[in-house]
Amino acid sequence: MQDIEKQEAQSVQQEPQAADTAAAATGAANAAEQAAAAAPAEPTLEEKLAAAEAKAAEMQDAFLRARAEGENIRRRAQEDIAKAHKFAIEGFAESLLAVKDSLEMALKIENASLESLKEGVDMTLKQLTSAFEKNKLQEVSPQAGEKLDPMKHQAVSAVPAEQEANTVVAVLQKGYMISERLLRPALVTVAQGK
């Protein structure tokens, strides 16, 4: 009988150990499931593709918007340039109106003497010169003996002269510059080489 009691006691001791082992295995499985649930799942290929397509669509939209903005800026700049060209002459034209008015008034005068006509033309020339100065239009009128400057002068003839070759003998027509840009060269006669 003692043997049976011994076996029962051993059996009772083994049951809690087996239960502990089973509980430990179940706890480990539950812990693994919880860890898997807590860790972010690896996205599938479809999810990665959808994300990449969304990013590409976003980038294309940004590109198209930037390109449209660039076109708008270019168009506005061209319009501004066109307006500047259109109205740039406005100030110059306005300064010439006084010259035109003076010439029209001179033509209306009946029985004007030669002297009064000359005075009127002289005053009109002063108005025109003032309009040129106001708009930075400068005369190019070299002095006799000045060296020929091909950037400002155009030699139309060469004559024998007592001065150095390629120097201005006479100005046939004045030239004009606006700011630093040549509008028309001065037409000059130059001295021939000796």
Residue-range domains of the chain with CATH: 70-135 (no CATH), 138-194 (2.30.22.10)
The edge-to-edge listing of strands for the beta sheet with 181-184 is: 137-140, 175-178, 181-184
The residue-averaged pLDDT of 47-62 equals 95
Asked if 148 contacts 171 with a C-beta cutoff of 8 angstroms, the reply is: no
Cα-based distances in Å from 30 to 27, 35, 75: 5, 9, 67
**CB 191, CB 169: distance < 8 Å:** yes
Q: Residue 140: is its pLDDT beyond 60?
A: yes
Predicted confidence (pLDDT) at residue 27 exceeds the cutoff of 70: no
Please tell me the distance from the alpha carbon of residue 54 to that of residue 62, in angstroms, as a whole number.
12
Predicted pLDDT at 81: 92
pLDDT at position 37 over 70:
no
Kindly state the tokens that stand for 28: 């480990």
**Amino acid, single-letter form, for residue 145:** G
pLDDT of residue 116: 86
Q: At residue 139, what are phi and psi to the nearest 5 degrees?
A: -75, 145
For residue 174, what are its two tokens? 């004045």
Query: Is the model's pLDDT at 122 over the cut of 70?
Result: yes
Confirm if 146 and 175 have CB atoms less than 8 A apart. Answer: no
Sequence length of the chain is: 194
Q: Which helix (H) or strand (E) holds 151?
A: none
Tell me, what amino acid is at 156? Answer: V
% of the chain residues with pLDDT over 70: 79
What pLDDT does residue 62 have?
A: 96
Are 138 and 176 spatial neighbours (Cβ–Cβ below 8 Å)? yes
Cα–Cα distance for residue pair 158/168, rounded to 1 Å = 9
| Residue 39 pLDDT level (bands cut at 50, 70, 90) | low
Q: Please say whether the beta carbons of 168 and 142 come within 8 A.
A: yes
Give pTM, 2 decimals: 0.54
Rounded mean pLDDT of the chain?
84
Helices and strands, number each (H, E), in the chain: 4, 6
Q: How confident is the model at residue 38 (pLDDT cuts 50, 70, 90)?
A: low
